[in-house]
Structure 1
Amino acid sequence: MASTEQTASSDKQFAIQKLYVKDLSFESPNTPTVFTEKWEPNVDINLNSNAKKAPQDLFEVSITVTVTVKNNDSVAYLVEATQVGIFGVKGFSEPELGPLLGSFCPSVLFPYLREVVSEVVTKGGFPPMLLNPVNFDALYAQHSQQNDISKAN
């Protein structure tokens, strides 16, 4: 039995094929006025992830963040960025694919997204925007639980 389990697990393959920025937008509609005002930002962050099958044994996983920063009730800047990874995935069962694509892959992508956002905000003349770490395991579990509840109703 042990040799069968080892064979089954050794048939599983996971590899990062490509990491890239698919979409990036930065807007600062109230410059230069925003630079002359006292900086008391109000930050709103919206984060989404998505996974879809690609050709062969590949999956495209993306995380998109929209960061809206207001100062004195006017938009100081808005950043939208989508970080994508192409992952080679083979030999995983359907129940294993969910957490892999919905939690593990976004966790791999997040540091790259975080760097892109910080860099573009800094190049826009603002203090660095450091996105706080995200627990994708908890978000995936919450999302799965909500789907289970909707299916039950």
Structure 2
Amino acid sequence: MNPVRRRRLLWVIALVVAAGIATTLVAMALQRNIAYLYTPSEVLRGEAGEQARFRLGGMVAADSFKRAPGSLDATFRVTDGDAQMPVKYTGILPDLFREKQAVVATGRMQGDVFVAEEILAKHDENYMPKEVADKMGMAHRKHDVNAPAAGAAKEAK
């Protein structure tokens, strides 16, 4: 093989190796930052994994919110109609956070408790994240609960 072809071959091999390394690094970064949405019943069935970071979506259960006086530590339960999951959070909760409202919490499981790093609450009376609405709709159909259609609330205004 002459020197020009050898040099071209080495360049091609170097480019292929560099592209492979870059692809691997991007895939690892995406895998670390991805957070799937699960409902409490899916988590209790073991679909979320033990150490995985994920989003827990559902409704804040009635009479479940508790905050220690003079502390930012809050505990509450998230429900999807089938199951309830205890949640612990340290920090300032969104202004619109309250019981019987939709919530999405991002965090990890520690034993039987979900420890949230971030809490998102709905932004108005008609909004619920699409993934949570879809999963709550499945729970409503499973339990034969009549739920208003997503567009019905908007048409009533």
The higher-RCO structure (CA 8 Å, 6+ apart) is 1
Between Structure 1 and Structure 2, whose CA radius of gyration is higher? 2
> Whose strand fraction is larger, Structure 1's or Structure 2's?
1
TM-score normalised over the length of structure 2: 0.25
